Amino acid sequence: QVIDSTSLGWGTRVKGFIACFAIGCLCSILGSCLLWIPKKGLVLFAVFYTLGNISSIGSTMFLMGPMKQLKRMFEPTRLIATIVMLLCLILTLCSAFWWRKAGLALLFCILQFFAMAWYSISFIPYAR
């Protein structure tokens, strides 16, 4: 059904998924490397780690399509996990750019990790 509603072929969608997921992993690794830079390292880590998570979430949209992905994200069984995960993403970026609190950005990165794990587990039947 997804194949009929999109102009992308299966091979193109798999390549898009792999590329977007690889970019997400690369951003997360780069953020971890930038963590050790004096003064700005923690903020750079928070930003790159968040961008990596956003890219990783976006990669699944290639496989199932954006609308189906959004519908599945906000199903009642994973609604709370999705809201917590999105809130952690936003709060990490706010603490890095707006509030300029490196410690708070690190805290939200840790919470972001657990929220992403909870969100990912919500897609596995009977894993919650």
| Per-residue confidence in pLDDT tens, the chain, 128 aa | 455 556 778 888 899 999 999 999 999 999 989 988 888 888 899 999 999 999 999 998 888 888 888 999 999 988 998 999 999 999 999 998 888 888 898 899 999 999 999 888 888 887 66
Q: What's the whole-model pTM score? A: 0.83
Statement to judge: residues 31 and 77 lie in one domain: no
Residue 92 inside a domain? The answer is yes
The pLDDT score that the predictor gives to residue 51 is 94
Q: Which residues contact 82 (CB under 8 A, 6 or more apart)?
A: 73, 74, 119, 122
The pLDDT score that the predictor gives to residue 22 is 96
Q: How many domains does the chain have?
A: 2
The pLDDT score that the predictor gives to residue 5 is 56
Statement to judge: residues 17 and 49 lie in one domain: yes
The pLDDT score that the predictor gives to residue 6 is 61
Could you tell me the residue range of the domain that residue 122 belongs to?
A: 65-127
Residue 5 inside a domain? The answer is no
Statement to judge: residues 79 and 36 lie in one domain: no
What does the alpha-carbon distance between residue 81 and residue 84 come to, in Å, rounded to a whole number? 5
Contact by Cβ (8 Å): 16, 60: no
Candidates 97, 3, 107; CA nearest to 115 is 107
Tokens of 77: 């069984």
Statement to judge: residues 82 and 111 lie in one domain: yes
Statement to judge: residues 45 and 70 lie in one domain: no
Which residue has tokens 């496989």? 63
Residue 121 inside a domain? The answer is yes
